[in-house]
Amino acid sequence: MNAARLLRDKINTPGRIVTGALATFHFWPGLVEIAMKAGLDYLIIDLEHLTHDHSAVADACAIGRREDFPILIRPAAAEFTPLRLAMDLGPCGLLIPYVESSDTMRLIEEAVYLKPR
């Protein structure tokens, strides 16, 4: 995923300030274009606090992939089903809430990297 690599490179550039937005209450696919034109480096779609229309989230992720603009999703929980759903929507990354143990990290790995690996 080129958008993920671009974001990683920006984050790892010494002295570079990386800015983005967290879309919690107001989200629609057109927000991706607004974020890009505003000069933001990424957009996070929050599914933890509100359930946005999944087709709209998938559309936003598709726009991000087409434009090489990083779209991340914050899933509802660090549990298999919400993580799998978030991955199926097509983001370049996840911002996972409440990761407090190695057991949770193993669960995340199982959800994100489906077998066979």
Q: What is the pLDDT of residues 28-79, one digit of tens each?
A: 999 999 999 999 999 999 999 988 999 999 999 999 999 999 999 999 999 9
Q: Is residue 48 within 8 Å of 97, Cβ to Cβ?
A: yes
Question: Could you give the C-alpha distances from 107 to 42, 51, 73, 79, 102, in angstroms and in order?
Answer: 26, 22, 17, 7, 9
Residue percentage of the chain with pLDDT more than 90: 92
Q: Which tokens belong to 29?
A: 């696919």
For residues 4-8, give the mean pLDDT: 96
> Could you tell me the residue ranges of all domains in the chain?
21-97+109-117
Question: Could you give the C-alpha distances from 34 to 38, 49, 73, 82, 105, in angstroms and in order?
Answer: 6, 22, 17, 27, 34
Q: Which fold has domain 21-97+109-117?
A: TIM Barrel (3.20.20)
Alpha-helical regions (H) of 1-117: 2-11, 31-37, 54-67, 80-88, 102-112
On the question of pLDDT at 116 being above 80, the answer is no
Query: What pTM did the predictor assign?
Result: 0.91
List the strands of the sheet with 93-94, edge to edge. 20-23, 42-46, 71-74, 93-94
On the question of pLDDT at 117 being above 70, the answer is no
